[in-house]
Structure 1
């Protein structure tokens, strides 16, 4: 049997497929990292919300006491306003991280998957060609064997 004439192309297509598969896996890992960042931002948001609740409870306790000063109330309100601003910033950070994760998933992951699928199709095309070539080679080998047997039979018949 002859060597497959597209063996080099076959190897190149398999390498391209492997690289595309690795790139796709990397995009999935990136996606998981983004999801972890979103979870981290959500945890920061929850922490900021808890700080606001704690400050509000502290303000209620302070208001119920007899020794509260107007400056204390003003400072406390300012502190509470700053905490609420932290919550707003944390909420925006979570929304930004979520948007980034969604955009990343829509674009990069889909492109990597498409590249992997196309590389897989290219490998399958070369494999299909190889199977056809192999079938032709087997058919040719069978034909040559049959011709050789016919030649032997003809020589044997002519000697009689």
Structure 2
């Protein structure tokens, strides 16, 4: 097994350490790896031969959402419709624009401002005011990923 695989496979012992850790310690990296809603996970690593260190970086289609309850108790794949390798739920979908993936039906539940199979289409027929964007009168807000799809006109994603 490669070193990245070994690191990811040791989460059982890490979980024990996390549960015994004093409150207030940062555990976000671990809880993101085991997060029951994490999808489209990609990790890469590099070894520095001089310092004998390993650097691992991961990217997730869904970011950290609930650090207090990052995973659900139960048998693997007991809460999903499609199962890969008898251990991982796999719909092969990525809900965009803050859509929420329903693992049982393998469908995206889109917010009011988005539509499409993966919530990829923004509803440009409605105005930003319908979503409360008038309170955000500065374009500076458009740098935040949660504002762009909710205020597509203000952020230049849609034109009137």
**TM-score, structure 1 as length reference:** 0.18
Higher relative contact order (CA 8 A, sep 6+): 1
Larger radius of gyration: 1
Q: Which has the higher helix share?
A: 1
**TM-score, structure 2 as length reference:** 0.18
Q: Which has the higher strand share?
A: 2
